[in-house]
Copies of this chain bind each other. A is one copy, B any other.
Amino acid sequence: MPATMSDVARAAGVSVMTVSNVLTGRKRVGEDTRRRVLAAVDDLGYELNLTARHLRAGRTNTVALVVPRFDHAYFGELAARLARRLEASGRHLVVEQSGASREGELKALTLARLHLYDGVLLSVVGMTPDDVARLRTTVPVVLLGEQDMPDRFDQVRMDNVEGARLATAHLLATGSRRVAAVGGSRSGRGMTYLRTLGWRRAHEEAGLMADDALVLPAGQSDLADGREAVRRLVAAGAPFDGVFAFTDTLATGVLAGLAEAGLRVPDDVQVVGFDNLDASEFLVPALTTVDPGHDAMTDHALRLLDRLIERAPGTDPGTAVEPEHVTGPVSLAVRGTTRHTA
């Protein structure tokens, strides 16, 4: 039975409102009364109930980040960056998991869990643009999706096609001729499709033919999938001298697979990843990878979210801000898994 505000009020011989005022400092309170209240608070071990405050005030100073999975390094780093920024503005980040499934994401959204937060950053993976379009929520939401989502929402994306093109072009420019696309897929609209597109485009630009047999899909376990992809390539006897792995985690698995197969990196096979995770620089050899401009994306996401949150009080549909779709700048971090020349 936690102490409530009126317990404190009674103990201090004042009204609840006075206790509230002392605690929030929103109104002047006599020094004497103030001390009595604080003493009572201390005495009863009282703690403010944020739920109640939220109900009344409509603000939580808390932003949620909904990610597909807790155990993906990319999202961990994303969360850390966001938390740092939010902390600076006196706010708070909590992370929730959607389970990387369409159902999970929908549940995370419709379950009205959203109302617990001032705003939500939603990493869309499983949901289709249609699902998103159907969302009826009044809570400020910014999508961190990979694919292009309906205009109704703000969205921050990576430039998947360009990043993939950069990665593949670099492999081709440094001498690789048969570049596998690990994590790719020939259909859909998601990240995998877009990066496959970039991979294809780089081939075209180099006047080369992309071989669809080198497109290897990934499943749920990136590390194992990356290794498995190499195993399959080797088993199939398909010649390959380069790998564009669609995430750094997949690339890590790929490196393991190559080592297992006795293939040297970058001498026999060059490898490029995507994400530029903290750990990638420390792999042996250090991973060449696409840097999706983390900081720029973080900045954009928070700017868009704040814009929505500011507007919230009025919520005048007339003055509705025009949703923005921004795309981060990509670049290539060249390291040890690729050669410097052909």
A97 on the interface (CB 8 Å rule)? yes
A15 on the interface (CB 8 Å rule)? no
Let me know if B285 and A259 touch, CB within 8 A: yes
Q: A71-B80, A72-B76 are in contact. Are A47 and B282 (CB under 8 A)?
A: no
A77 on the interface (CB 8 Å rule)? yes
Q: Which of B52, B79, B114 makes the CB contact (< 8 A) with A70?
A: B79
Interfacial residues of chain A within 63-95, with CB under 8 A of chain B in the complex: 64, 69-73, 75-77, 79-80, 83, 87, 92-95
Pick the interface stretch among A192-200, A248-256, A298-306: A248-256
Let me know if A256 and B315 touch, CB within 8 A: no
Q: Select from chain B the residue with minimum beta-carbon distance to A135.
A: B45
Q: A72-B76, A255-B284 are in contact. Are A47 and B115 (CB under 8 A)?
A: yes
Q: Which of B77, B96, B111, B253 makes the CB contact (< 8 A) with A71?
A: B77
Interfacial residues of chain A within 20-76, with CB under 8 A of chain B in the complex: 45, 47-52, 54-55, 62, 64, 69-73, 75-76
The 3 A-B pairs at the shortest CB distance, nearest first, are namely A50-B114, A70-B79, A71-B80
Q: Select from chain B the residue with minimum beta-carbon distance to A224.
A: B282
**How long is the Cα–Cα vector from A55 to B115 in the complex, in angstroms?**
12
Q: A50-B115, A284-B259 are in contact. Are A79 and B97 (CB under 8 A)?
A: yes
Return chain B residues, CB-CB under 8 Å to A97.
79-80, 83, 93
**How long is the Cα–Cα vector from A52 to B138 in the complex, in angstroms?**
16
Return chain B residues, CB-CB under 8 Å to A286.
256
Q: Shortest distance in angstroms between A184's beta carbon and chain B's nearest beta carbon?
A: 20
Let me know if A115 and B51 touch, CB within 8 A: yes
Q: Which of B51, B64, B76 makes the CB contact (< 8 A) with A76?
A: B76
**How long is the Cα–Cα vector from A114 to B110 in the complex, in angstroms?**
21
Let me know if A49 and B278 touch, CB within 8 A: no
**How long is the Cα–Cα vector from A214 to B94 in the complex, in angstroms?**
39
A320 on the interface (CB 8 Å rule)? no
Q: Shortest distance in angstroms between A16's beta carbon and chain B's nearest beta carbon?
A: 16
A279 on the interface (CB 8 Å rule)? yes
Q: Could you show 25 A-B contacts with beta carbons less than 8 Å apart?
A: A48-B112, A48-B114, A48-B115, A49-B114, A50-B111, A50-B112, A51-B51, A51-B115, A51-B116, A55-B55, A71-B73, A71-B77, A73-B73, A75-B76, A80-B97, A83-B97, A92-B111, A93-B96, A223-B278, A223-B282, A252-B279, A256-B281, A256-B282, A256-B283, A279-B279
